Amino acid sequence: MMTDNNSYTFFPLFLLVVSFVLSKSINGFSLTAREPVKLSEDKRSIISPDEIFELGLFKATRLSGIDGWYLGIWYKRLPATVVWIANRDHPLSNSTATLKISNTNLFLDDEQSGPPVWKTNLINHINEEPLVAELLDNGNFVLRYSNRKSFLWQSFDYPTDTLLPGMKLGWDRTKNLNKTLTSWASLYDPSSGNYDFEIENWKVSHGLITNTGQPEFRTDLSYSNLVNIAETEEEISHSLNITTNVSSISILQLTSAGALRLTELIGGEKRTLFYFPNDRCDYYNSCGENSYCNTSNNCECMAGFQWGGQYAWGLTKSRQICVRKSQLSCHEKEFKKIRNMKLPDTEYAIVDIKVGLEECEKRCLKNCNCTAFAITDMGNGGSGCVMWTGDLIDLRSYMTEGQDLYVKLPADDLGGKRNINIKPIIGSIIGGLGLLGLVILCYWLVITRNRSKSNSPSITEPPSSDSSKVFEDWGSICMDYDVIATATENFSDSNTLGKGGHGTVYKGQLPDGHKIAVKKMTADSKGGLTGLGNEINLIAKVQHSNLIRLLGSCSTSRPDHNLLVYEYVENSSLDTYIFDTTGQYVLNWEKRFEIIKGIVRGLIYLHQDSRFRIIHLDLKPNNILLDKKMIPKISDFGLAQTLEGNATIGFARTAVGTFGYIAPELRNDNVYSVKSDVYSFGVMLLEIVSGKKNMEFIKNFDGTSLLRIIWDSWSKGEVLEIVDPVLKDSSLSSLQEEEIRRCVQIGLLCVHESPEDRPTMTLVLSLLGKEVDFIDRPKPPAETEWTGIKGEASTSTAPPIGSTMGAR
């Protein structure tokens, strides 16, 4: 995995698995009015002079399930990296089309009687000069008079989801054109999606990502030094501050999940230079007016403000807002300087890029309505004045980035030491004392239990009503390492129950006879401590019959002495039964169906019924444990994440989970939601029915997957052909066959490419219980990416990208 010196997390390049029918080019890199280009089975295309870019037709499947053909531009060496599309919302219905010049316009004609599929819509000019259309080495497809260098039309004026070096975003005054990016509808559907990226205020480098027109994220691109801002009589524009050539490729894309990502490819290796958003603080106005999201992802009131009343937030929720401690008068002459801030929303701000710091301060003082000001360019003494005249919206603080924000305050609210923020200092002291107190509390509990229970020192029973407060206060019961070591016979190999990426699980028995399962972290586990903290913080605070129960933990300065203690389950994990080839473990359909419903109930609890909305992110048969009654228990919460407040999606710094089970949006865009678990459950459900591993098909490198095979069988009405032979041999009843068909259809719905198309786990339970009679017809499943990792494809982070290309 490649990362740059600034420790940006690697994100895979946007890639599209499509059927291309273009392999040979026309002579040269242009077309004329006399020589239209036929794009059909003869596989012709236009290639730029240095063979960097290629223009032609490609095929993609829309969300409706219908195939369409598109005129697009892509990197010739990476034909699946589409950077521009002409007819994204008006696809061709077949693979035959003609690209031609007529009356000073470009036309894409499907050779049918109707109007052209796409054209440039230029005003016709009477001119005898010959026209030429050509593809340049910067990826710009242009139309011009053959003896002139200026362009009549260029594709750079109409970007899709990709900004190339030399492309500009912003306002073109001469053409009355606002250049923006619009996402794809999904990873595979190139039609216009819900997300748009535009320059919010053309005089500052603030970019706004909207979702169906509503602000979703806002970023200051100046922090990354990725853009150049320019204002002329013709335009106010922002362009990428990078170059491209034969050996280096860089693109900025707005993903179908609404994220901005700059990816660079050099010598076959890829790295992400910039990715946004990164955390919950990047959500638009996540903390409300006059409040900012701090470096700990918590909300704080601005200086001079305090938590006050409430305002409506959605249909049923409300939250506190920050109100002024003292009313601001027109005579105030003081400002509070706050460093490392993301500047407030500039949509209604007053901007003058020619004014410096001193003049900007004077203007704000003279304006009674001015509440704050800042300088847009802090270099070279500071220039570019921005003033706000109302509430300050969408703020956050950074550790090192950001700009100085000057907030106008009454003198009484400034205090003696105006520019010293003691909150972080106090927070650090309190946090340190709290941590010390926790260590002392754990030690005291161990000592007191040693004294009071000599027969079973330091070990507690699963928490009763007496110990529930301890669980509530600080997660789990502290346990003594030596006692646990004794219970597992010093972690004997004979007591090994299983091994994972961060440790080994052992069977143990306490002096009172109670059996336990102990996860012991490996000494070199980089993610072990994070996983241990995750499990303590999450699973200890939730209780459900279909979730594994955490009994206690042991945390020491030695990484290999970090332990998690669980309830012991007698019947191993689900994979032992459904993937058994020896015939030793037989699981009939009745048991499988009950296990499926138990897993669903556990996920419903995690997703909506627990105190936290928990996303597991590593669902697979190995992590489903079966007790003595074969009741399933979801385990291993080391990768789990929570969604807080009104958030419906989260962003991981890298793809997490196990290959074959990772949802496309998590694998490609590092975005997760409850629907990510739904996808993993869908894969697991189809494995339970078929008795086959999805990864065994993916590793064949032939583009097939278990999901695709099952979908093909389902679409042909041959569902029972893919059922586990063990089940076929057990003489299934007609009722059981109906349940199997229903499970397959539900599983295929769960593995839809788009998260929006997948059902919730609540709906899944209703479908399984026949509470809902009608089940939607599934679409083809999302393609499963295999990247060439050696050995078992189970990991908590994404491996290096191999030679195969996956989803966009």
**128 close to 135: Cβ distance less than 8 angstroms:** no
Judge contact between 613 and 607, C-beta under 8 A.
Answer: yes
- DSSP, res 252: E
Determine the 3-state secondary structure of 296 from DSSP: coil
Cis peptide before 91 (omega within 30 of 0): no
Going from the C-alpha of 350 to that of each of 117, 119, 201, 353, the distances in angstroms are 43, 40, 10, 10
HEC-encoded secondary structure of 441-505? HHHHHHHHHHHHCCCCCCCCCCCCCCCHHHHHHHCCEECCHHHHHHHCCCCCHHHEEEECCCEEE
CA dihedral for 342, 348, 352, 358, sign (positive or negative)? negative
Amino acid occupying residue 748: L
Locate 384 and state its tokens: 């570019």
What's the rounded Cα separation, in Å, for the pair 670 and 279? 11
Q: What's the burial of 519, exposed, middle or buried (CB within 10 Å: 0-12/13-18/19+)?
A: buried
Distance CA 516, CA 667 (A): 35
User: Are the C-beta atoms of residues 805 and 666 closer than 8 Å to each other?
Assistant: no
Burial of residue 202, with CB atoms counted within 10 A of its CB: 0-12 exposed, 13-18 middle, 19 or more buried? buried
State both tokens at 435. 């941590």
Which residues lie closer than 8 Å to 737 by C-beta, 6 or more apart? 720
d(Cα 808, Cα 804) in Å, to the nearest integer?
A: 12
φ, ψ for residue 420 (rounded to 5)? -105, 115
519 is in an annotated binding site: no
Say if residues 485 and 458 touch (Cβ distance below 8 Å). no
**Where do we find the tokens 């009674």?**
368
CA distance 295 to 559: 27
Cα–Cα distance between 806 and 703 in angstroms, integer? 10
Catalytic amino acids?
A: 618
Give dist(CA 102, CA 125) in Å, integer.
11
Which one, of 12, 1, 8, 9, lies nearest residue 808 by Cα?
A: 12
CA distances from 508 to 499, 520, 796 (A): 15, 12, 26
Q: Give the integer Cα–Cα distance in Å for 149 and 132.
A: 11
CA distances in angstroms from 423 to 201, 285, 302, 420, 670, listed in the order given: 33, 22, 12, 9, 33
Q: Which two tokens stand for residue 196?
A: 């748009």
Q: 412 by DSSP, 3-state: which? A: helix
- Helix H segments across 289-349? none
CB 402 within 8 A of CB 223: yes
| Cβ neighbours for 49, distance < 8 A, ≥ 6 positions apart | 29, 136, 137
Rounded distance between C-alpha atoms, residue 63 and residue 453, angstroms: 63
Find out whether 460 and 511 touch, Cβ atoms under 8 Å: no
- Whether 339 and 368 have beta carbons less than 8 Å apart is answered as no
Q: Which residues pair with 335 in a beta bridge?
A: 408
Q: Which tokens hold the place of 627? A: 């007790």
Q: Which helix (H) or strand (E) is 25 found in, with range?
A: strand 24-25
Chain centroid offset of residue 233 CA: 40
Token pair listed for 795: 């990991």
Specify binding-site residues for ATP: 520
Specify binding-site residues: 520
